[in-house]
Amino acid sequence: MPAVSAVEIERVFREEYGRSVAVLVRLVGDIDLAEEAVQDAFEKAVERWPSVGLPPSPAGWIITTARNRAIDRQRREASRGSRQAQALLLYTQDDPVEEGPVHDDRLRLIFTCCHPALAEPAQVALTLRLLGGLSTAEIARALLVSEPTMAQRIARAKAKIRDAGIPYRLPADTDLPERLRPVLAVVYLIYNEGYLSAGFGGEPSREQLCAEAIRLGRLLVELMPDEPEALGLLALMLLIQSRRPARVTPDGALVLLADQDRSRWDRELVAQGQALVRRCLRRGRPGPYQIQAAVNAVHSDAPTAAATDWRQIVQLYDQQMALAPTPVVALHRAVAVAETDGPAAALALVEPLALDGYYLWHAVRADLLQRLDRPDEAVPAYKAALARTRNPAERDQLERKLRALSPPQAH
């Protein structure tokens, strides 16, 4: 049998971890046990697969092995007289392993993780850990907190679910709307982590996470077809995803939106996203995800970067600032203002924003200073942006801008 490389095992982990944990949670009813069993199964795969080869169904192998590990642990618990463990053992022995497409398990797990008994930061962190398969370090970077703080947050969230007896199921129809906001936030964070990841292997994009987020977005729309923000999030992800073929050069360099070859955009995804935006507009209940989707629809309408309707984009950001003002939204609005009123007007909007820890604030500021022919100020701004991002494609782009702007001795 052909040898299985560590890269192939890593790929299976990235593709199947979230699904496997979700299936195991349904089978054993315990998040900690499910996660430990899946991790044990992948450790076993690392030992066995390099010598025996990849099994015909890697996902099925992982789920079966994890279930057997969980049953072994439950049997040990049952031998100590735990009635709950005995019941779980009987349940998992009778329940068939699910090796085909899993339609609802991951969605159930998201709603479990996003229960209102948990604080929203814990909801987001736990879902990224269990569904996205992200490490604690990756989640800490994504949410801008320390790794020990994040580890503690995830452990407390799991304990809360266990101790409070939070059920592993979809909420009732009447409870869905109030549970939707954190669920949408989690799905979008999973998408963003995949689209521009600071994660393993120096990959600028982790396509499987993007695909999983879009899959979950489609499930949410099926579950709540009348919720315009669910439609808006799916439209937003599809429109951003449509540009993926043009956003990185063959050698891995990031290509800015203005420089992308628009003929390479996925027109099918563009059409799907624009159709969803039109559905949102007909409902007349605007929200942040719908507005962001509308902004991306304006970009997708323009045959060239020069033809972009920037005034419409500024108006959309004005609407978002009225609905849900944040410094990040204000930053994106300022980028659009630079195209309508010039870099000086945009810089005046950017400077007061409290975003020193955000690499994009420094990158936008550097670009505006460069356009204003103020290189002595642009150079340190580019360096500040570099210090705040680990993504290799972003770093390469910033370094190229810095080299073009400053003599070698300046850095």
One DSSP character per residue, 327-387 reads: HHHHHHHHHHHHHHH-HHHHHHHHTT---TT-HHHHHHHHHHHHHTT-HHHHHHHHHHHHT
From CA 14, how far away is CA 21, in angstroms rounded? 12
Range of the domain at 74: 1-97
108 located within any domain: no
Among 65, 97, 129, the domain boundary falls at 97
Helix (H, G, I), strand (E, B), or coil: what is residue 32? helix
Are 294 and 316 spatial neighbours (Cβ–Cβ below 8 Å)?
yes
pLDDT digit of tens for each residue in the chain (411 aa)? 456 777 788 878 877 888 888 888 888 888 888 889 998 999 998 888 888 888 888 888 999 999 998 888 877 766 655 555 544 444 444 444 444 333 468 778 888 888 888 888 888 888 888 877 778 887 887 676 889 999 999 999 999 988 888 888 777 777 777 778 888 988 898 888 778 764 434 455 567 778 878 988 998 898 788 899 999 999 999 999 999 999 888 887 888 899 999 999 999 999 999 999 999 999 889 999 999 999 999 999 999 999 999 999 999 999 999 999 999 999 999 999 999 999 999 999 999 999 999 999 999 999 999 999 999 999 999 999 999 987 788 888 899 999 988 665 544
CA 142/CA 398 separation, integer angstroms: 20
Residue that is last in its domain, among 97, 130, 163: 97
Is 269 a domain residue? no
Where residue 39 sits, what CATH number does that domain have? 1.10.1740
In a domain, 289, yes or no: no
CB distance 283 to 228 below 8 Å:
yes
d(CA 256, CA 249): 11
Domain count, the chain: 2
Q: Specify the CATH number for the domain of residue 400.
A: 1.25.40.10
Residue 353's nearest CA partner among 333, 373, 369 is 333
Query: Which of 59, 80, 97 is the endpoint of a domain?
Result: 97
Give the number of C-alpha atoms closer than 13 A to the C-alpha of residue 216, restricted to the C-beta side: 30
The answer as to whether 391 is a domain residue is yes
Establish if 259 belongs to a structural domain: no
Confirm whether 174 is domain-assigned.
no
- On whether residue 397 sits in a domain, the answer given is yes
Q: Is residue 318 part of a domain?
A: yes
Q: Please tell me the distance from the alpha carbon of residue 184 to that of residue 289, in angstroms, as a whole number.
A: 9
**Distance in angstroms (rounded) separating the CA atoms of residues 231 and 217:** 8
What's the distance, CA 302 to chain centroid? 27
Q: Apex CA 100: angle with CA 199 and CA 205, to 5°?
A: 20
